[in-house]
Structure 1
Amino acid sequence: MRAVVQKSFGGPEVLEVAERERPRPLLGEVLVRVHASAVNPADLVVRSGEFPLLGEPPFVLGWDISGVVEETGPGARFRVGDEVYGMPFFPRAANAYAEYVAAPSRQLARKPASLDHVHAAAVPLAALTAWQGLVQAADVRQGDRVLIQRAAGGVGHFAVQIAKARGAHVIATASAARHDFVTGLGADEVVDHRTTDFDRAVRDVDVVFDSLAQGARSLGVLRPGGVLVSLLEQGDPALLARTEAEGKRFAGISVEPDYASLEAIAELIDAGRVRPHVSETFPLEDAAKAHELVATGHVQGKIVLTV
């Protein structure tokens, strides 16, 4: 099978298509013929060696997949021909930039029926991050005031929609050029982070969804009893202590495979309440170009590789 392999840490140029042995599904696993795989910012820091999550190269990057089950191991919960999507193995290697991926069947869910594979592949890591932060950690409810940082990005654009689906009043930060996009997702208020300090413009929110490591500033906008959901400061004991001292709650989150949450997200998608936005697609051979685009930090929604 073809896969995007890197043999050393470095820039996008280290990504190259090579032939690799096709995996075989083990007990409880399925072999997925991958139709599309999304590129996430995490892929870039792993590729560069800045965050050597997968150890030393060679390895294959990627976690998000959407495709069709081609083979099943004993005890797997899908059948050949089922369309599935997911984010298997994270934070261990899933080898998703490839034509085939073998993964535990309980780390995958049925693909939303209303999406093609390109848009389904854009969902798992980003939407699971938003879901696990807003729903499972913060328990966002009807009428809550929720501040979403970087609302036009991969995780952010799902966070806005999930919070709205839960009945929240959503305040989002985004550049002026992204305001129409974010408002279209359902944001009730949008703050231009380039011209306005969010901690001066926003007050009395129930939940801050912080993807910028700005927890200390975010505390000032939370009401007593509010929740700070942080993606990048999970291990900061000083921030945790300060949050608790102010009578607020700290939830440092990562993301993990969870088929039940993927099923709940798929229901929202098929009901028209959440939609993934794909800015651009690239063939597997152009994975380096996809990484270059994500590295600009100005991607609206997601970038997807077609396989």
Structure 2
Amino acid sequence: MRVMELVRFGGADTAFATRELPQPVPGPGQVLVRVMATSVNPLDLQTRRGDYRDQVALPAVIGNDVSGVVVETGRGADDFQPGDEVWYLAPVFAGLGTYAEFHVVDQALVARKPARLSHVEAAGLALVGVTVWEALVERAGVRAGERVLVHGGAGGVGSAAIQIARALGAEVVTTARARDHGFVTGLGAGTAIDFSAGDYAPQVRAMGGVDVVLDTVGGDTLTRSPEILADRGRVVSIVDISEPQNLLAAWGVNATYHFVFVSPGRAKLEALGRLVDRGELRPVIGAVLPLADIAQAHTLLEGGSPTEGRGRPRGKIAIAVHPLDQPPHGTGSSGREE
């Protein structure tokens, strides 16, 4: 099978190389999936730069999102059969990643792909959707009638968080650049604040504060959240904490902090699928590139291509692994999406 292999840590332009590796074989309880699409996430950028070099030995195939088709099942993997369309989040730092034409995974982590999503859309939703579900539902316990602040609402995680918070019955406030205000309010945010135009905290306090803060941006968010939290408010961060944070003010509002390093699971995907089926959640795909252009996808996610005058896309950058207009590499199938 063809893969895009991470061969050196550092910049995107020299990090990857095309390789041919043996197609994996499913073991007991596993399924072999033809990867129709995957996506690029901030975790991939961090891995490529070398932030997790203790967990990743080079050369490595990275990536975690999958939408595809089951082609073979291992002994005891009775939940699926060849031809089933599935989606899942692969375990982080465990075996071969998803920048590949085929992938093996434990069936317990796999769910059937929502019929109304294309493979590209499903691949763009897996990791961010599971992350938001774990953050807002399993950790923060968001309830109907509460107010949630989503930092970075125009990004991949933020765009999913706005929709999921609304589906839970919450009022959503989000930070985004002015040019993205129409986009985030279209997703369900009741209030959008331009973080680049000044301090967001006074505006949030003026509306009575929030019950939950979802931190997708880092910086001083953890330190400043108590300024805008209601009593017994919750803060959930999905960002690596690299600098000391002063949380003394959190004591005064009885705040609870949660830190999420996402874990895969079928139940979360099925819950997301129900929101998709009800029309309450839709993936936001800002760009779709072929697997061979994985370095360009990383560059786009890091902030765009200055030479082409393009900025970072809204939502997710998806990767079409098996091009939809030609047979998948090494197979006789058309690989077309219905």
Match of 1:196 among 188, 198, 204: 198
Unaligned runs of 5+ in 1: none
Matched-pair contact (CA < 8 Å) for 2:2–2:19: yes
**3-state secondary structure, aligned to 2:196:** coil
Residue equivalent to 1:268: 275
Distance 1:59 1:20 in 2: 11
Residue equivalent to 1:159: 161
Residue equivalent to 2:336: none
What letter matches 1:274 in structure 2?
Answer: L
Distance 1:80 1:180 in 2: 43
Deviation of 1:88 (Å)? 1.3
Deviation of 1:236 (Å)? 8.3
Matched-pair contact (CA < 8 Å) for 2:114–2:276: yes
Seq. identity, %: 42
Residue equivalent to 1:3: 3
Larger radius of gyration: 2
**3-state secondary structure, aligned to 1:89:** coil
| 1:220 to 1:92, Cα distance in 2 relative to 1, 3 A | farther
Residue equivalent to 1:302: 316
Matched-pair contact (CA < 8 Å) for 1:146–1:206: yes
| 1:152 to 1:181, Cα distance in 2 relative to 1, 3 A | same
1:206 paired to 2:211: yes
Matched-pair contact (CA < 8 Å) for 1:215–1:233: no
Matched-pair contact (CA < 8 Å) for 2:233–2:255: yes
Give the RMSD, CA atoms, in angstroms. Answer: 1.7
| 1:93 to 1:156, Cα distance in 2 relative to 1, 3 A | farther
Distance 2:30 2:248 in 1: 42
Residue equivalent to 1:279: 286
1:34 paired to 2:35: yes
The count of residues paired between Structure 1 and Structure 2 equals: 307
Residue equivalent to 1:23: 24
Deviation of 1:148 (Å)? 0.2
What letter matches 1:207 in structure 2?
Answer: V
The alignment's TM-score, normalised by the length of structure 2, stands at: 0.87
Q: How does 1:128-167 map to 2 (within 5 A)?
A: 128-167=130-169
Deviation of 1:93 (Å)? 4.1
Distance 2:248 2:178 in 1: 35
Residue equivalent to 1:227: 234
Unaligned runs of 5+ in 2: 305-311, 322-338
**3-state secondary structure, aligned to 1:96:** coil
Match of 2:260 among 253, 276, 287: 253
Residue equivalent to 2:335: none
Q: How does 1:86-105 map to 2 (within 5 A)?
A: 86-105=88-107
Q: Comparing 143-152 with 42-51, which one deviates more in the overlay? A: 42-51
Residue equivalent to 2:44: 43
The alignment's TM-score, normalised by the length of structure 1, stands at: 0.95
